[in-house]
Chains A and B, each alone.
Chain A
Amino acid sequence: MATQTQDKLQRHAGIDRLFHWVTAVTMTLLLATSLLPIVGIRFPWVKIHWVSGLVLTLVVLFHILRAITVQKLSVIQLKGADLAEFSGKKPGKYSLPQKAMHLAWMLTILVAIATGIVMMVKAGTPVFHRNPYILTVKAWGILTLLHDLAALAALFLILVHVYFGLLPEKRMYLRSMVGGWMSRSELALNHDPERVARGE
């Protein structure tokens, strides 16, 4: 967490905030285009869906590369030591619930992307030549099942994620995801500044 001014500490770099909000917009579009037709709101959804999925895939690939090369993966990794937060120990940059939320999103989005890309071959897009015969009917069913489960998980996660982001006592996390910064006092109240400085 680099120092921005005397009281403002940078929590998220601009590129990471951009990644977060592009992911948020594409996930919302993906859920809206897949679930609204199911509840009876019919519109031409396929193109918006696969284009959003492709954008999501590209930004996630970028995020993974950045996380591996520039950032420290251990900062967001869920560890047994994080359980000490239940006995009052303050977290490093990310708290246990934040790490758990990231892990849940990571699994959900990776399953959605992996299955979605193969389904794009079945549907046929300008990116992939249509070929529904690369898998058996049974295999397509399993693939669709996994994609559907990812959609249901994403619906659950969006509700919970937005709720916690809007809570007044968690508002500084939302602000830091918009403006990038958190105040020194907010950091000291909710995190261990020494652990954050050590890159934990």
Chain B
Amino acid sequence: MDILRYGHDAYGKVVIDGVSWDLLGLAAGAGVAVIIIHLIYRAVSKSGRNRGN
């Protein structure tokens, strides 16, 4: 997976063009991962509270 996009200037020298769009899936995946981890944490802490009652 690439991190950056590259292009060339007028002299043919390689320059950075921006972020590689391969990272799009990573950003969305990180968001989904946070949601899943929180859902698990929420379910575990809720069942812990129910056992305590």
Contacts and interface: CB of A to CB of B under 8 A. Distances in A.
Given A137-B15, A141-B15, A160 B24 contact: no
B40 interface: no
A33 B11 CA distance: 32
A159 B32 contact: yes
Contact of A144 (B9, B17, B24): B17
B1 interface: no
Contacts of A158: 31
A148 B18 contact: yes
A35 interface: yes
A138 B17 CA distance: 8
Given A144-B17, A145-B19, A137 B9 contact: yes
A86 interface: no
A141 B24 contact: no
Interface in B1-50: 4, 7, 9-10, 15-19, 21, 23-24, 26-28, 30-32, 34-35, 38, 42
A155 interface: yes
- The interface size bin for chain B is 20 to 34
Contacts of B9: 136-138
Interface of B: 4, 7, 9-10, 15-19, 21, 23-24, 26-28, 30-32, 34-35, 38, 42
22 contacts: A35-B24, A38-B24, A137-B7, A137-B10, A141-B15, A141-B18, A144-B17, A144-B18, A145-B16, A152-B19, A152-B23, A152-B26, A153-B27, A155-B31, A156-B27, A156-B28, A156-B31, A158-B31, A159-B31, A160-B34, A163-B34, A163-B38
Interface of A: 35, 38-39, 136-138, 141-142, 144-145, 147-149, 152-153, 155-160, 163-164, 167
Among all A-B residue pairs, the 7 with the closest Cβ atoms:
A159-B31, A148-B19, A141-B16, A152-B27, A144-B18, A137-B9, A148-B18
Given A155-B31, A159-B28, 13 more contacts: A38-B21, A39-B24, A137-B7, A137-B10, A137-B15, A138-B9, A141-B7, A152-B27, A155-B28, A159-B31, A159-B34, A160-B34, A163-B34
